[in-house]
C-alpha cells in the first residue's frame, strides 16, 4: 500500500527536478518578453516562428531560426535586448581609423578588435587584439583580460572578402558573443554582424547593435533589401 507521505515526497521530488535549469531548453512562448531559463541556450516556439535564445550580462539574444506563423501561439520579441547602454557610433569610427592607420591598402593585414563593457568606468571600450596578422588571417590574443569580457569580436577582412569564412566559423565556434567583419577599410568600408551561440550562427542587422557612422555600409541590411525587391 502506497502511503500518502510517499506520494507527497514523489511529487515534491518531481517538482524539484523540473525546477533545475536545463543546459539546453525547449519551450513554448506564453508572453511577448520571455526570460531565458536555460543555462546555455533554448529554443522557443512562438506565434512568429522558432527562435534561438540565450542571455549574458550585456544582452539577451532572441534570434530567428525560422519565420513561420504558428496559429494559437503568442508572438514574441525578435532581436537583441540590451542590458547596457547601446554602443555609440564613435566606437566604430575609432576602430575604422585604427585599421586604416595600421597598414596601407597595398600592405593589408587583418586585425581583431574586442568591444567590451568596462565595469569600472561604466562605458563601452575597445582594444586591438590580433596576433600573427597577415593578409587573410589573424587570431585574437585570448590571453588578454579583455578577451574574456568581450561581447563583440570584430576582425578586418581583405578587400572584397564580404562574408565570414570557413576559418571564421571554426575560430568562432564554442562562444556566445557577437561577431563581425569589417571589409574594405581603405575604400567604401562595409560591415557584417552575426551572433554566435556556441555552435550556431545567425546573421543580423547592425541596427540591433548600434547606429553605424555615416559611410559604413551594413551588408546584411543591403542584402535584406535586395531580397525584398526580388
> What letter does residue 174 receive in the DSSP assignment?
T
Tell me, what's the pLDDT at 19? 61
Q: Which of 1-10, 92-101, 164-173, 210-219 has the lowest mean pLDDT?
A: 1-10
**In sequence order, what DSSP letters do the residues of 58-116 get, joined into one string?**
SEEEEEEEE----TTS-----EEEESSPPBPHHHHHHHHHHHHHHS-GGG----EEEEE
Residue of higher predicted confidence among 31 and 194 = 194
Tell me, what's the pLDDT at 16? 42
Query: pTM for this one?
Result: 0.90
The rounded mean pLDDT for the chain is 92
Tell me, what's the pLDDT at 18? 56
CATH number of 89-229: 3.40.140.10
User: Across residues 120-148, what is the average pLDDT?
Assistant: 96
Sorted by where each begins, the domain ranges of the chain are 4-82, 89-229
Q: pLDDT tens, 17-60?
A: 456 789 999 999 998 888 999 999 999 999 999 999 999 999 99
Tell me, what's the pLDDT at 10? 53
What burial letters (b/e) apply to 159-186, b meaning 16+ CB within 10 Å? eeeeebeeebeebbeeebbbbbbbbbbe
Residue of higher predicted confidence among 200 and 33 = 200
Q: pLDDT tens, 76-108?
A: 999 999 999 999 999 999 999 999 999 998 999
Amino acid at each position: 500500500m502506497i502511503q500518502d507521505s510517499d506520494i507527497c515526497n514523489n511529487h515534491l521530488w518531481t517538482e524539484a527536478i523540473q525546477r533545475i535549469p536545463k543546459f539546453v531548453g525547449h519551450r513554448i512562448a506564453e508572453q511577448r518578453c520571455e526570460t531565458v531559463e536555460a543555462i546555455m541556450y533554448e529554443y522557443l516556439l512562438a506565434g512568429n516562428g522558432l527562435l534561438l535564445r540565450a542571455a549574458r550580462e550585456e544582452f539577451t539574444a532572441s534570434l530567428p531560426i525560422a519565420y513561420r506563423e504558428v496559429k494559437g501561439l503568442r508572438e514574441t520579441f525578435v532581436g537583441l535586448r540590451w542590458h547596457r547602454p547601446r554602443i555609440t557610433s564613435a566606437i566604430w569610427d575609432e576602430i575604422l581609423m585604427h585599421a586604416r592607420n595600421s597598414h596601407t591598402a597595398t600592405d593589408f593585414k587583418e586585425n581583431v578588435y574586442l568591444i567590451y563593457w568596462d565595469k569600472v568606468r561604466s562605458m563601452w571600450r575597445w582594444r586591438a587584439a590580433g596576433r600573427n596578422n597577415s593578409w587573410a588571417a589573424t587570431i585574437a590574443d585570448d590571453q588578454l583580460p579583455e578577451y574574456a569580457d568581450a561581447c563583440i569580436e570584430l576582425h578586418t577582412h581583405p578587400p572584397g572578402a564580404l562574408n565570414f569564412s570557413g576559418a571564421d566559423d571554426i575560430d568562432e565556434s564554442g562562444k556566445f558573443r557577437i561577431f563581425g567583419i569589417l571589409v574594405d577599410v581603405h575604400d567604401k568600408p562595409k560591415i557584417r554582424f552575426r551572433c554566435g551561440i556556441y555552435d550556431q550562427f545567425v546573421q543580423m542587422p547592425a541596427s540591433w547593435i548600434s547606429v553605424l557612422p555615416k559611410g559604413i555600409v551594413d551588408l546584411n541590411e543591403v542584402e535584406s533589401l535586395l531580397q525584398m525587391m526580388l
